Amino acid sequence: MTTLLITGGAGFIGSNLVRMVASAGQYRLIILDALTYAGNLENLSGVIDGTNVVFIHGSINDGDLLKRVFSDYSIDAVLHLAAESHVDRSIASAAPFIETNVTGTLCLLEAARAASVGRFVHVSTDEVYGTLGPDDAPFTEETPLQPNSPYSASKAASDLLVRAFVHTYGMDCVTTRCSNNYGPYQFPEKLIPLMTLNALEGKSLPVYGDGRQVRDWLHVEDHCRGIMLALEHGRSGEVYNFGGYGERFNIDIVHRIIELTGADTSLIAHVTDRPGHDRRYAIDPRKATSELGWQPVHSVEEGLAATIDWYRNHSAWCESVRSGAYLEYYAKHYGTSL
């Protein structure tokens, strides 16, 4: 059976990907995750079996560990999702983003190359393209990279390292760039889970600036299907954009969350805008459709309603994340502290 290394598999997208791939049963999965604040083993409860789905606690910055993992588990291909992923945190402190997203990606590329791994899928973001005006055409794979935040700059740097490893060493890499994801298991520092949990708890809903920034929302399951299609059918050295034709103003998303949770609009608080806030993201995913046969299947309306139901019905997960209890999960189940 083909063995995949999934980095960042305890995070939001990674854990959804692990669940999707594990349930199909076609691949053996080795998850490598440093369990930062964003990594949560509860996201993988019931999935790790130690045989077909193995969890390894460790960092992509640890070259010795990577060497052992590639050799001990005979890794055939890599799905690289591990990252520092939150723009606001990158504004507060950029260094961890360079350490993980740039140096860590380099370390992983070097280890994968040394192990002659078949395919390396690098999961990136549309934020590397910068920001759009209201009438600009959506980002294509040809749009120049103009990152504006420390987060997007670090992701753009990692994309260029991947490109260089293809060009210089002939490595077999594919890069995906996706728009904003939403769905189950997303850490409540990002817009949709933060607003959902706050609305359910009757807390303030902090909208940055006028709330008229636009994001192009994609359900995480659609993204995960795209990552697997890029693994199986992408052309080496190519970039594939994924987006859900789901452009919405932030303030409209917040109003919809209020309707779906039955909260009060008086909870909305317009707060100081994010420095350097990108105004609009929008993706043209036609290359992924024509080359990979990829199409989003979830509409924002249906996907958002289902997501809010998920948070409502998973109060134990929400409580554990809110209280920080999830940070104790590793020690409880593996017998050692992190």
Catalytic residues: 126-127, 151
**37 near ligand TYD (CB under 6 A):** no
- Smallest CA-to-CA distance from 47 within 29, 26, 70 is with 29
User: Does residue 208 interact with ligand TYD by CB under 6 A?
Assistant: yes
Least distance from ligand NAD to the Cβ atom of residue 265, Å = 26
Residue 115 interacting partner from ligand NAD, ligand TYD, none (CB closer than 5 to 8 Å by kind): none
User: Residue 268 in contact with residue 254, Cβ under 8 Å?
Assistant: yes
Rounded-to-integer distance, Cα 262 and Cα 149, Å: 34
- The distance in angstroms from the start CA to the end CA of the chain is 31
Query: Rule CB under 6 A: is residue 180 a binding residue for ligand TYD?
Result: yes
Among 5, 6, 31, 38, indicate the residue that binds ligand NAD (CB under 6 A).
Answer: 38
Total binding residues toward ligand NAD, as defined by CB under 6 A: 30
Residue 304 engages ligand TYD in binding (rule: CB under 6 A): no
Give the whole-angstrom CA distance, residue 253 versus residue 214: 10
Alpha-carbon torsion (182, 134, 243, 141), positive or negative: negative
25: burial class by Cβ within 10 Å (0-12, 13-18, 19+)? exposed
Of 61 and 140, nearer to ligand NAD (C-beta) is 61
Which does residue 208 touch among ligand TYD, ligand NAD, none (CB within 5 to 8 A, set by kind)?
A: ligand TYD
Q: Residue 154 interacts with ligand NAD (CB under 6 A)?
A: no
Placement of tokens 């053996």 in the chain: 28
What residue 206 binds from ligand TYD, ligand NAD, none (CB within 5 to 8 A, per partner kind)?
ligand TYD
CA angle 160–222–175, rounded 5-degree value: 15
CB of 314 to ligand NAD, least distance (A): 16
Strand duo 247-249 + 214-216: pairing? antiparallel
206 binds ligand TYD (CB under 6 A): yes
Min dist. Cβ of residue 206 to ligand TYD (A): 4
The answer to whether 62 and 12 are in contact (CB under 8 A) is no
Lookup: tokens for 167: 């060009």
The reply on whether position 61 binds ligand NAD by CB under 6 A is yes
- The answer for residues whose C-beta is within 8 angstroms of residue 240's C-beta and 6 or more apart is 141, 174, 175, 176, 177, 226, 230, 234, 287, 288, 291, 292, 294
Tokens 């369990």 belong to residue: 35
**Residue of minimal CB distance from ligand NAD?**
11
* Residue 190 Cβ vs ligand TYD, minimum distance, rounded to whole Å: 3
Binding-residue pattern over the window 210 to 239 for ligand TYD, x denoting contact by CB under 6 A? ---x-x------------------------
Under rule CB under 6 A, residue 81 binds ligand NAD? yes
Out of 250, 300, 329, 330, name the contact with ligand TYD by CB under 6 A: 250
* Amino acid making up residue 124: S
CB atoms within 10 A of CB 297: 12
* Identified binder of ligand NAD from the candidate list 4, 5, 12, 282, rule CB under 6 A: 12
Number of residues lying near ligand TYD (CB under 6 A): 12
Beta bridge partners of 271: 208
Going by C-beta distance under 8 Å and a sequence separation of 6 or more, which residues neighbour residue 130? 145, 146, 147, 148, 152, 278
Regarding 307 and contact with ligand NAD (CB under 6 A), the answer is no
* Interface with ligand TYD (CB under 6 A): 87, 180, 190-191, 194, 206-208, 213, 215, 250, 274
Interface residues with ligand NAD (CB under 6 A) are: 7-8, 10-14, 32-36, 38-39, 59-61, 81-83, 85, 100, 104, 123, 125, 155, 178, 180-181, 187
